[in-house]
Structure 1
Amino acid sequence: MRRFVIYFLSLLLATQARGSELPSYCLRMEHAGAAYTVCSFDPSKADIRLFSRDDVTGASYGGFAALSSALWRQHQFIVFAMNGGMYHRDLSPVGLYIENKIEKTPISTAGGWGNFHMQPNGVFFIADGKAGVRETSAYLNANLKPDLATQSGPMLVIDGKLHPRFLADSDSFKRRNGVGVSSDGIVHFVISEDPVRFYDFATLFRDRLKTDNALYLDGTISSVDIPAAGRRDSLFPMGPIIAVVERVPDL
């Protein structure tokens, strides 16, 4: 136990020393007059997972702090985390949600209101160490058996083209977060630090990050946890959480 206490204190001191500096896997970008934080990972090397409910208690994590505590009890810790899709009032996922190869909620092809149903929507997934984002019908047609998957909407970029409903002069500005996968297989998680239009957010993925397909995860509640930068957003409850996890090394 003493080893883990020492390791935790070393992490804390390193975080305090770095302050607001970002770790090597994250960077700050300016695009179309707004600031963004981009964190990128190779899914063949990073342990990217989805979390929704505590396996022991059955309760929704609801935020990064509860997830971090649960992982620490398993001698693991968060490297990076972000809200991972939309959710119902009870914090359960809206649409497809697959965790550890187990489908917890089915894919949704129904119509409705809100951003999730701004067709086409899509799915972020990882299968056999490779990540992808596909429009929902394309995902269904591929007959994939992913290790994890989360459905959200709308798609931001679809085969290199912006979602057809995005307007360059829209007056809808919100904080937003999303995910895209570039041609080299790297997963890019992005959160806007300023309120932005869908159009500008999507062009960041297409033009700057070179992702042919990218997916919107959520808006106002957009949150990120970057422990190495001393940042943990906690203003809003969360449903699904995407996290990059590592094990506490033997000391």
Structure 2
Amino acid sequence: MSRTESALLAVAALAASLLAAPARAVECERIEFDGNRYVTCAVDPESEQLELFLRDPEGEVWGDFSTLDTALEAEGRNLVFAMNGGMYHSDRSPVGHYVEDGEEVMRVIPNAGPGNFGLLPNGVFCLRDGYARVFETRDYLERRPECRDATQSGPMLVIGGKLHPRFLPDSDSRYIRNGVGTTDEGDRAVFAISENAVTFHDFARLFRDRLNLPEALYFDGNVSRIYAPEVGRADLGRQMGPIVAVTAPAS
């Protein structure tokens, strides 16, 4: 069977799973805030297996949720929740710092640069067992926290309870956007994707003023994707680089 045929079968299986997916501890819901619509998924890292995925054992980029889900099923695990987890180059390699299962794939990029990634301050999403925390990049370099997995993206949305200083309330730059916010203690992470085009200012306020999270990091815009069976979402389309996901043993 060709890789294309396998991918098509995986997509069909993934779509069917949405109809029969059991309730999970990851809490996803559709909400409205300040005239905009979002899907949010709250994850307790103490009770959930939250991790990053980039390449399969053969070195191929996973690329989409269905391919990853099929591989997990073969290992006796289920994909519970997933989202694109950071910006990437045309070959889908990470633009910034990336660590998976303790192995550094890409170093930290601390300097300003083009595009949203380089709109400082940017940040790093750090994961280890029982812990999920967004750090502003300079703070990350100073603290050097222990991260089993880490992905750098940008810009930061919320830093210490304050919006990124470059965000404008009257901006006309609107896109579908996704990102993650965390508590300072690293005991709660909330992932969000907009269901209509929003500004950076709109999106950052969601995390600070609606979700009450002091740190939040932007993942991406045009390529924003989410797998959230609880609300009937299994986004397909454009291939991704890093994927952040919650997995669980198959029941």
- The alignment's TM-score, normalised by the length of structure 1, stands at 0.89
Deviation at 1:23, TM superposition (A): 8.2
Asked if the contact 1:182–1:209 (Cα under 8 Å) also holds between the matched residues in 2, the reply is no
**Secondary structure at 2:117 match in 1:** helix
Query: Following the alignment from structure 2 to structure 1, what is the Cα–Cα distance between the partners of residues 64 and 166?
Result: 31
Deviation at 1:16, TM superposition (A): 2.2
**Secondary structure at 1:67 match in 2:** helix
**Secondary structure at 1:243 match in 2:** strand
User: Any idea what the Cα deviations from partners look like across 1:67-87, whole Å, max 9, x if unmatched?
Assistant: 111111111111000000000
User: Any idea what the Cα deviations from partners look like across 1:96-142, whole Å, max 9, x if unmatched?
Assistant: 11111111111111332000000000001123421111100000100
Aligned residue-pair number: 236
Query: Following the alignment from structure 1 to structure 2, what is the Cα–Cα distance between the partners of residues 23 and 39?
Result: 10
Q: Quick one: percent identity of the two aligned structures?
A: 48
Pairwise CA RMSD of aligned residues? 2.0
Residues 236 and 31 from structure 1, CA distance in 2 versus in 1: closer, same or farther, beyond 3 angstroms? same
Query: Following the alignment from structure 2 to structure 1, what is the Cα–Cα distance between the partners of residues 245 and 95?
Result: 18
Query: Following the alignment from structure 1 to structure 2, what is the Cα–Cα distance between the partners of residues 177 and 226?
Result: 13
Query: Following the alignment from structure 1 to structure 2, what is the Cα–Cα distance between the partners of residues 87 and 12?
Result: 26
Runs of 4 or more above 4 Å deviation: 11-14, 21-24
Query: Following the alignment from structure 2 to structure 1, what is the Cα–Cα distance between the partners of residues 125 and 222?
Result: 20
Query: Following the alignment from structure 1 to structure 2, what is the Cα–Cα distance between the partners of residues 199 and 26?
Result: 23
Alignment-derived partner of residue 237 in structure 2: 235
Q: Does 1:120 align with 2:128?
A: no
Q: Which runs of 5+ in 2 are unaligned?
A: 1-13
Query: Following the alignment from structure 1 to structure 2, what is the Cα–Cα distance between the partners of residues 240 and 132?
Result: 17
Alignment-derived partner of residue 223 in structure 1: 225
Asked if the contact 2:26–2:43 (Cα under 8 Å) also holds between the matched residues in 1, the reply is no
Q: Which runs of 5+ in 1 are unaligned?
A: 1-10
Deviation at 1:229, TM superposition (A): 3.9
Asked if the contact 1:22–1:229 (Cα under 8 Å) also holds between the matched residues in 2, the reply is no
Query: Following the alignment from structure 2 to structure 1, what is the Cα–Cα distance between the partners of residues 113 and 16?
Result: 48
Residues 183 and 27 from structure 1, CA distance in 2 versus in 1: closer, same or farther, beyond 3 angstroms? farther
Query: Following the alignment from structure 2 to structure 1, what is the Cα–Cα distance between the partners of residues 55 and 147?
Result: 19
Alignment-derived partner of residue 3 in structure 2: none
